[in-house]
Chains A and B, each alone.
Chain A
Amino acid sequence: KNQVEQSPQSLIILEGKNCTLQCNYTVSPFSNLRWYKQDTGRGPVSLTIMTFSENTKSNGRYTATLDADTKQSSLHITASQLSDSASYICVVSAGYGQNFVFGPGTRLSVLP
């Protein structure tokens, strides 16, 4: 069964600190993996997208990694800001890329 798991479920950090969120997937065949940021009550915003051949992709303070062999991805946030408080969702596209499997998300809270 195609599945995406994320850890931790929630995370609290202090402003300025770094953190890493994890995503494990059992989706086959793999097409691509995307990380979204979703503020409460709003639509998700794409942060990064990676295909099978990409190991790392950065978007400002956000850096995503992908290990296609172990089927794991991580999202590293550097020098966190209060505005980083949100849910971070990992999404894997399956088949010919037209089936999207969402993880449950990690709820990040950045405190002053």
Chain B
Amino acid sequence: DSGVTQTPKHLITATGQRVTLRCSPRSGDLSVYWYQQSLDQGLQFLIQYYNGEERAKGNILERFSAQQFPDLHSELNLSSLELGDSALYFCASSGLAGSYNEQFFGPGTRLTVL
């Protein structure tokens, strides 16, 4: 158990809909990362937040957005969902912002878009 929690574990929805994925980092960690893992594209870095501020952006679509709240939990919002958005979404946390810091991954949210 990494100490990172993600909810829900599974999510099934229809195309065009909007969903919110939630992540609670390990106690004391200030940095949160979001990743997408699909069968055809592997793991991809989406976005990073550090202490409430956006720190780095990867391959995140404009239909996706994220935020980190004052209590340091984070949410990833996916809108206008397409079939290709079906994937495992992982959240990870680290103590500090630098990439050298070990990231601890949560169990993931499996999103299925029908």
Q: Tell me if A32 is interfacial: C-beta within 8 Å of chain B.
A: yes
B105–A43 touching, CB < 8 Å:
yes
Q: Which residues of B lie under 8 Å from residue A41 when comparing CB positions?
A: 88, 108
The interface size bin for chain A is 20 to 34
Q: Tell me if B28 is interfacial: C-beta within 8 Å of chain A.
A: no
Q: Tell me if B11 is interfacial: C-beta within 8 Å of chain A.
A: no
Most chain-B CB neighbours within 10 Å: which of A44, A91, A97, A103? A44
Pick out which of these stretches binds chain A: B62-70, B75-83, B92-100.
B92-100
Pick out which of these stretches binds chain B: A11-19, A45-53, A61-69, A72-80.
A45-53
Minimum CB–CB distance for B45 against chain A, Å: 4
Q: Tell me if B103 is interfacial: C-beta within 8 Å of chain A.
A: yes
B48–A89 touching, CB < 8 Å:
no
- A interface, over-half SS: strand
B42–A102 touching, CB < 8 Å:
yes
Q: How far, in angstroms, from A41 to B90 measured CA to CA in the complex?
A: 11
User: How many interface residues does B have (CB within 8 Å)?
Assistant: 22
Q: A42-B107, A43-B105, A44-B105 are in contact. Are A102 and B45 (CB under 8 A)?
A: yes
Minimum CB–CB distance for A20 against chain B, Å: 21
Minimum CB–CB distance for A77 against chain B, Å: 20
Q: Tell me if B55 is interfacial: C-beta within 8 Å of chain A.
A: yes
Q: Which residues of A lie under 8 Å from residue B44 when comparing CB positions?
A: 102
Contact of A99 among B45, B88, B90, B92 (CB under 8 A): B45
A46–B103 touching, CB < 8 Å:
yes
Q: Which residues of A lie under 8 Å from residue B90 when comparing CB positions?
A: 43-44
Q: Give chain A's interface residues, CB within 8 Å of chain B.
A: 31-32, 41-46, 49, 51, 89, 91, 93, 97-100, 102-105
Can you list 30 residue pairs at the A/B interface with Cβ under 8 Å? A31-B99, A31-B100, A41-B108, A42-B107, A43-B2, A43-B4, A43-B92, A43-B105, A43-B107, A43-B108, A44-B43, A44-B90, A45-B2, A45-B105, A46-B102, A46-B103, A51-B100, A89-B43, A93-B99, A97-B99, A98-B48, A98-B56, A99-B45, A99-B58, A100-B45, A100-B58, A100-B99, A102-B42, A104-B42, A105-B42
